[in-house]
Amino acid sequence: MKITPILTQLREQCPALANRVAAGADLATLQTPCAYVVPINDLASANAAQNATRQAIRDRFEVTLILDSTDPTTALDQLHDLRAELWRALVGFKPGGDYTGIEYDGGELVSINSSRVLYRLRFFAEFQLGRNLASQPAESWHERELDGLSSFTGATVRVDAIDPADPNLKRPGPDGRVELTFSGDVTP
C-alpha cells in the first residue's frame, strides 16, 4: 500500500497533530504531539480459484503516537483523545481504488518515561491479487501467460465413428473415414 494517501489523510483530518505526521521519525528532534506511519507487513490468504489467481491480501501498517509526558496524567488523557482522532481519520478510509476501507487492528503502549509516551496503533486494508476482467492489466505470472496466447476464434471437429466397424479391420474401431465434420466460430 502506498503510504502517501495515509499521511495526507492524517494531516488533513487530525488537527491535534498540526501536520506533524511523517513516514519515519527521529525521536530526538520531534515536536510533540506527533505521529509516524510505517508499513509493517502483508498477509495473503489461500488462492480462492482453481484456474486463476484470486488472493485476498491484507496490508498492515502502524501509526505511532509520540507525546510529551512531563505530566503523565495530561499525556495519557491526550493519548485517549488522539487515538479517537486517528480512528475518525482512518477507519473506513480507502487508501486506494483497489482497497477495502481501513480497519483498526489494535494498539499498545510501546514506551513511557519522564519525557515521552509512545503508543502504537495497528491498521489494515485489503485488496485482491488477481484481476476480475481480461481487459485489466495482468497481476500474476499466470495472467501474463494467458495474455500472450492468441485469441480463440473457433474450432473444427472431425468425427471418425467407431460403429459400424470396418469388416477389413481385425478389431472394431475407427476406420479412418471422417463421417461428420462441423465448425464453430467465436465472435467476441
State pLDDT tens for residues 44-80. 999 998 888 899 999 999 999 999 988 989 999 999 9
pLDDT digits (tens, 9 = 90+) for 147-162: 888 888 889 999 887 7
pTM to 2 decimals?
0.76
Q: Are 73 and 20 in contact (CB under 8 A)?
A: no
Question: Does 166 score more than 70 pLDDT?
Answer: no
Domains and CATH numbers, the chain: 4-129 (3.30.2000.10), 153-185 (no CATH)
For 21, residues 6+ apart whose C-beta sits below 8 A from its C-beta are 7, 10, 11, 14, 34, 35, 36, 37
Average pLDDT along the chain? 88
The pLDDT of residue 168 is 67
